[in-house]
């Protein structure tokens, strides 16, 4: 079992739908980083959060430290949101290295 699990692995949505991607972790982390990877390959930072909720445009990220769970929401989804979304936990001890989920592949249809 991976220490960081994402669900779903694949998601297809119609344009305009509300989308939720989940990330659960079993290790101690100091913060969680949501990343976006477009088909071209580059990885872009979306949010890093250690508690509560953050919002940027149509994207919202939440984290519940006690439940070891984070969610990424996309409101009014658009085809340009099609990408792989990756969550990564920054370990809370020692080196603060990242441990990654395997990603959620999102396709938004027009």
Contact positions vs another protein (CB under 8 A) = 2, 4, 30-31, 33, 35, 41-45, 48-50, 86, 88, 90, 95-103
- Name the minimum Å distance from CB 16 to another protein: 30
User: How buried is 80 (Cβ within 10 angstroms: 0-12 exposed, 13-18 middle, 19+ buried)?
Assistant: exposed
Nearest to 88 by CA among 42, 49, 59, 41: 49
Nearer CB in complex with another protein: 59/77: 59
**What's the DSSP call for residue 48?**
E
Q: How far is the CB of 15 from another protein (least distance, A)?
A: 27
């Amino acid at each position: 079992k991976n220490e960081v699990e994402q669900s779903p692995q694949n998601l297809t949505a119609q344009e305009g739908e509300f989308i939720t991607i989940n990330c659960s972790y079993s290790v101690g982390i100091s913060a969680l980083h949501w990343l976006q990877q477009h088909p071209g390959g580059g990885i872009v930072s979306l949010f890093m959060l250690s508690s509560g909720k953050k919002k940027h445009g149509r994207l919202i990220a939440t984290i519940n430290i006690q439940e070891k769970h984070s969610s990424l929401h996309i409101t009014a989804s658009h085809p340009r949101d099609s990408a792989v979304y990756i969550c990564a936990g920054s370990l809370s001890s020692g080196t603060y290295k990242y441990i990654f989920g395997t990603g959620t592949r999102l396709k938004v249809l027009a």
